[in-house]
Amino acid sequence: MKDIYILGIESSCDETSVAVVKNGREVLSNVISSQIPIHEKFGGVVPEIASRNHVEAISNVTKKALEEANMKLEQMDAISCTYGPGLVGALLVGVSYAKALSYASNIPLVATNHIEGHIAANYITHKDLKPPFLCLIISGGHTHLVHIKDYKEFEILGKTRDDAIGEAFDKVARVIDLGYPGGPKIDKLAKEGTPNIKLPQTYFENLDFSFSGIKTAVINLHHKTPDINKADLAASFEKAVTDVIINNALKAAESLKINTIALAGGVSANSYIRSRFLELEQTHKMKIYYPEPILCTDNAAMIASAGYYNFINGITSNLELNAIPNLKISEK
C-alpha cells in the first residue's frame, strides 16, 4: 500500500504547531512553538495576543516542520487542520493558512476536531492500540469520557458539568500562587505533600463529572487557613479529582466490558494521575495507555494522526471551511 503523508496544523489555543506524520502513526516532525511565556504574565491565555502570535509564527513553523521531515509540501497527501473547538481567532489562523496551502498546492484539505486529535495522540505512542477502547480526555478545555468504538465512531459517555479538569488545576494553582499554567506546577508540588485533607467529591447517577466543588473547597481552605501546607493541599486536590475520574472510568469499563483505558489531553501528563491509573493494571486487570508527555499537550502530530483517519475514511473538506469554536465530537 502507498504511504500516506499528512501535514498537521494546530492553532486552537496557545501553541502554534505543524507536523508531518506518515501513515497516521509515524511522526517525521512535530514543531511546536509555545506561547506560554507570552501569556504567563497575564495568568492565562489572552485570545487577541494568541491570534497575533499564531499569525507571526505559522509560516516559519510550517517551513521547519517540512525541513525536519525532509519533505516538500507537494509530497503531502493531505493537509489536516484543527477547526475546533478552541479560541475562534486562534483557530482561524490555522484554518486560513491550511486553506491557502491547500488551494495553492492543490492538496486535499481535511478538517480535524481537536478532541479527536488528543485521542489520536495515543495511536502515535502505542502502535498496537486499536479501537474499541475507552478514552478519558482530560485537558484545559475538556473532560470527556468517550467510548471509541472505531477510529471514526465515538460515543460520549460522560462530560464535565462545570470546570474542565485542567481549568480546575489552573485555577487552584493561581489561587495558591503557583502561576500559569498550573497543572505542571501542582504536579511538582504535590510530590512533596500528603493527600491528608478531605475534599468534597461529586458523583452523578450517570458518568458526568464536576470539579467546581473540589476547586472551591481548596480555594476556601487556602483563604481561611493561611498556614495550611500547600504541598498537602496540592496532593489532596490531585487525589480528589483522580478518585472521581477513576470511579467513572471503571464504571464505564465494567458496564461496557472493556478493559482498555487510554488517557489523553494535557492533564494526562500528570504523574500522580498516571500512576493511579497504572495501578488498575494490577488491581482491575485493565490495560492503561497514555501518550508520551510531548503528545499530551497541544501539538500538530496528533492533528495529523486524527486527520489521517479522516482522510482514509473519505472525510475531506473544502475552501468553505470555517472555524467552529464550540465544535463537539461527532457521535455515531
Q: In angstroms, what is the minimal distance from the CB of 320 to ligand KG4?
A: 25
Q: In angstroms, what is the minimal distance from the CB of 97 to ligand KG4?
A: 19
Task: Output 270-275 pairs: Cβ under 8 A, ≥24 positions apart.
Answer: 270/183, 270/187, 270/238, 271/187, 271/191, 272/187, 272/190, 272/191, 272/235, 272/238, 272/239, 272/242, 273/138, 273/238, 273/242, 273/245
Report the interface residues with ligand KG4, using CB under 6 A.
Answer: 13, 139-141, 166, 169-170, 181-184, 187, 265-267, 269-270, 297-298
Q: In angstroms, what is the minimal distance from the CB of 324 to ligand KG4?
A: 15
Nearer to Zn ion, 178 or 264 (CB): 264
Any contact of residue 139 with Zn ion (CB under 5 A)? yes
d(CA 130, CA 122): 10
Q: Which stretch binds Zn ion (CB under 5 A): 63-71, 143-151, 195-203, 298-306?
A: 298-306
Nearer to ligand KG4, 22 or 276 (CB): 276
Nearer to Zn ion, 183 or 195 (CB): 183
Nearer to Zn ion, 113 or 139 (CB): 139
Measured in Å, how far apart are the chain's first and last C-alpha atoms?
28
Segment 58 to 87, residues that bind Zn ion, using CB under 5 A: none
Angle at 95 (CA atoms; ends 90, 98), nearest 5 degrees? 130
Q: In angstroms, what is the minimal distance from the CB of 234 to ligand KG4?
A: 10
Among 109, 298, 303, 329, binds Zn ion (CB under 5 A): 298
Nearer to Zn ion, 139 or 236 (CB): 139
159-198 as b/e: b if 16+ CB within 10 A: bbebbbbbbbbbbbbbebebebbbbbbbbebbeebebebe
Q: In angstroms, what is the minimal distance from the CB of 143 to Zn ion?
A: 12
Residue 327: DSSP 8-state = P
If you search the block for the grid coordinates 455515531, which residue do you land on?
332
Compute how many residues bind Zn ion; rule: CB under 5 A. 2
